[in-house]
Amino acid sequence: MSSPYGGGRRRGEAERAAASRSTRMHYARDVNDERALADDRPTIRRSRHWTWLAVAIVAMSVLAVVGGRGAEDVPITADCDAPQIAVASSVVTAGQPLRFRVTGAEDVDYVMTLDGEPVRGDAGTTVSYTETPAGPAFRLPQCLSPTLRLAAPAGDGVHDLAMLRVAGDGTTEQVAAVPVTVTGTG
């Protein structure tokens, strides 16, 4: 039923607000009210989802690097007076990496041997070796090596990983040793 006074349908709150805004903008354009016209422009809201995604990726990358390093390090305390060897595990599978670290005096050349044969532990470019008659020798900056890796030998049983001190005249003296048990595959 319609109203006897004309009208038809009543305007809702949203329609009244839109009509009021339209009227205000007409007046603002008539008098060149820049402030009112600027207030009416739609504001652009930029999403910060990409920012949060980037922060999450960086955080996960840092955790992966830190977590990876922690898993690689073999625990040993630096000792400049008493040379020592620490292994990640005293039992390894043949052919798998044997991870170890050594500690000792800074200004001494050391050679590592496995069953009496000189070996060169791999630690990337963080360890520099010099050739000596006893084998590849290295020094321990700050009395501690990084984690070194070498392939475990193929023969099952107990093998000796030894640390030799190289004297100035080329002679060697064993200063530390640790037994490592090697098992067959799988």
- Return d(Cα 22, Cα 40) in angstroms, integer: 10
Mean pLDDT over 119-148 rounds to 87
Residue 149 and residue 165 in contact, taking contact as beta carbons nearer than 8 Å: no
Task: Give the pLDDT score at 6.
Answer: 53
Please measure the distance between the N-terminal and C-terminal CA atoms of the chain and give it in whole angstroms: 89
Copy the structure tokens of residue 160: 């000796």
Task: Give the pLDDT score at 71.
Answer: 47
For the ranges 35-39, 53-57, 63-67, 169-173, the maximum mean pLDDT occurs at 169-173
Helix runs in 10-169, H state only:
13-31, 34-40, 49-72
In percent, how much of the chain has pLDDT > 70? 83
Mean pLDDT over 146-174 rounds to 89
Task: Give the pLDDT score at 7.
Answer: 54
Distance of CA 154 to CAs 88, 94, 139, 157, 182, Å?
Answer: 18, 5, 28, 9, 8
pLDDT in tens, 60-89: 777 666 554 444 678 889 899 999 999 998
- Return d(Cα 27, Cα 134) in angstroms, integer: 97
CATH superfamily placement of domain 84-183: Immunoglobulins (2.60.40.10)
Copy the structure tokens of residue 99: 């991870």
Tell whether the model's pLDDT for residue 42 goes beyond 70: no
- Return d(Cα 186, Cα 180) in angstroms, integer: 17
Type of residue found at 128: S
Task: Give the pLDDT score at 43.
Answer: 64
pLDDT in tens, 148-160: 999 888 878 899 9
Indicate the domain borders of the chain: 12-44, 46-73, 84-183
Mean pLDDT over 171-178 rounds to 93
Helix runs in 124-184, H state only:
none
- Between 50 and 69, whose confidence is greater? 50
What is the average pLDDT value for the chain, to the nearest integer? Answer: 82
Distance of CA 180 to CAs 34, 82, 115, 126, 140, Å?
Answer: 83, 21, 10, 24, 23
